[in-house]
Each structure stands twice: as C-alpha cells, then as structure tokens.
Amino acid sequence: MLVIAAPGQGAQTPGFLAEWLQIQSFADRMVWLSAVSGLDLVGHGTEADAETIRDTAIAQPLLVAAAIAVAHELLGAAEPACGRADLVAGHSVGEIAAAALTGALSVESAMVFVRERGQGMAAASAVQPTGMSAVVAGKPDEVLAAIEAAGLVPANNNGSGQIVAAGTLEQLQQLADNPPARARVVPLQVAGAFHTSHMAPAMERLEVLARSMPTGTPATRLLSNRDGEQVADGREYLSRMVSQVTNPVRWDLCMDTMASLGVTGLLELAPAGTLTGIAKRNLKGVDLFNLNTPDQLDEARDFCARHADKK
C-alpha cells in the first residue's frame, strides 16, 4: 500500500526547484501556478534566499505548488494527480497539496486557498512576535508538561521523538532555558505560532472564502491532520483545513492510520526528508522514498508501482 505525502512549512530550502525547472512541462506548470497565486514561484524556487522563502506568504504557496508540480511529473498529467496512490496525506500546509492531488480541490482553488492562508497567517504573525520550536526526544508526558509550564501549545504532535511547541518568543525562550530531561529544543524556520489561537484572524478570513469554494470527491483515501481519520467528502476536508489553522497537527494519528491500513511504502514529495525522517522513527518496516530531484523519477515510479495496491 502506497502513501504519497506532501511536506509542511519549514521544508523549503533555497534553490530547491532549480533542477526541476529544466523540465519544460514542470516549468510551464509553475508559470501557471505563479499566475494563479500572484507570486513569482519560479523565482522564489530558484533565486530567493532562505530569509525570503521563510516568509509565510511565500513559503506556503511555494510548497503547495512544488508538491503539485512534482506529483504531476511523477504520476502523470491527468487530473487528479494522485495516480495509483492508495493514500494521500499532507503535513499542515501540505494538506492543501493533498487536497489538490486527490481532486478534493481543483489545483486553482488550492492555490487561491493557500495564497489567502499564507497572507492571513503572515498578517496574524505580525501582530506579536511568535514562533515554533521542536522538542526532540524526552519522555512525551514530560515534554508536554514542560510545554504547558512555559505557556506554550503543542502545535504539532509528530509521534515518537518530536513534539512542536508554539507561542510567543518569550515563552519559547523559557522552554529553551528549561528543557525537558534528555530533550533538545530546536527553533524552527517559521515566522509564527501556527496551529494556535494566534492564527484566529487567518481562520476567520478562510471561513468566508470557503463558503463558495467548489469541492470534489477525493479520488483516493485522504487523511486529515485533525485526527488522522480518512475523509471522503471534499467539503468536509475543506472545513477541516480551515479550522486546522488554529488547531494542532496530529501527524502522529495520521501515521497510526497508515500503520493500521497496512502501508508498505511512503513517498515524500519535494522538498522531501522531513516526513520520511519522522516515519523512520514511527513506521518501522515501511519503505521510504525522498523525491527531491528529477533524476530520481524513474526510481520513484518503480517504488510507486512496487507498493501500490494491485487490487
């Protein structure tokens, strides 16, 4: 059983699309997605520095567009682009790419949604200096207790070995100064306290937008960050993505669902490495594939064919 996964914010690195843009169909698609989003995603994916693409309003559309375009090169140009995947999931903003790949949203609707999400979350982040830090290792109950003691929120639960705390910079510093036993606190390259009440203004904007946004029926199993459940209705999935802006990402529960369904292979779309790194600790025995460059496409297609359910 094959999972296609789309990474979340913080996975981006300068120039990560440079090699992909040598493929004409990929370049054409990125030009179109740039036009839809109103951003120069080609330039941001090749020439922009780390600080520029750290901007939430840029990073989120860039990551969603990259996942969509890479998936089309991997699995074909048909709509939706999930191909033979048995399961599709995205981490945080990656959920929007997952919605587009399964047809829960059209590609154009997904790019409009992520543009508004990114702009809204950037504006909310500007109200007060906030951020996120990963707490690596440590006992889960002790990690959660330390996060709560600092006045922070466990905004991402990424399973064994990593819980992400979010809140004000002062609160994050307090956590860094008083880390849980046998744990490290690592600041993340994001510009705000995502998936917390700090993002409420962004959610309000998306609620209005979502009322008239068209949706479709997902072409394959689609997992929700809210609770790891499979969602078979595009309207419900859109509603969940709206509320997810202020609620924790339960990637741990998504992985529990993957395991219960008998997943054998997980391929992460570019820029890949974050989700496979988490899966390595939590999905023992599952084959993993980081698709980061176009010269891996043939090998990636073989990986997909090997793990896709033959039924």
Whether the bond into 154 is cis, omega within 30 of 0: no
Pairing of strands 87-90, 183-187: unpaired
At 240, is the secondary structure helix, strand, or coil?
A: helix
Listed in sequence order, the residues at least 6 apart from 83 whose beta carbon sits closer than 8 Å to its beta carbon are: 4, 71, 74, 75, 76, 304
Q: Kindly list the distances between the CA atom of residue 177 and the CA atoms of 62, 143, 155, 184, 208, in Å, as whole numbers in the listed order.
A: 34, 14, 19, 11, 41
Angle at 304 between CA 296 and CA 65, to 5 degrees: 65
How many angstroms separate the CA atoms of 129 and 74, rounded?
39
Q: What span, in angstroms and rounded, lies between the C-alpha atoms of 303 and 61? A: 27
Contacts of 177 (CB under 8 A, 6+ apart): none
The contacts of residue 244 (CB under 8 Å, 6+ apart) are: 92, 95, 195, 225, 226
Contact 297, 22 (CB under 8 A): no
Contact status, residue 72 vs residue 80, Cβ threshold 8 Å = no
Q: Active-site residues: which are they?
A: 92, 195
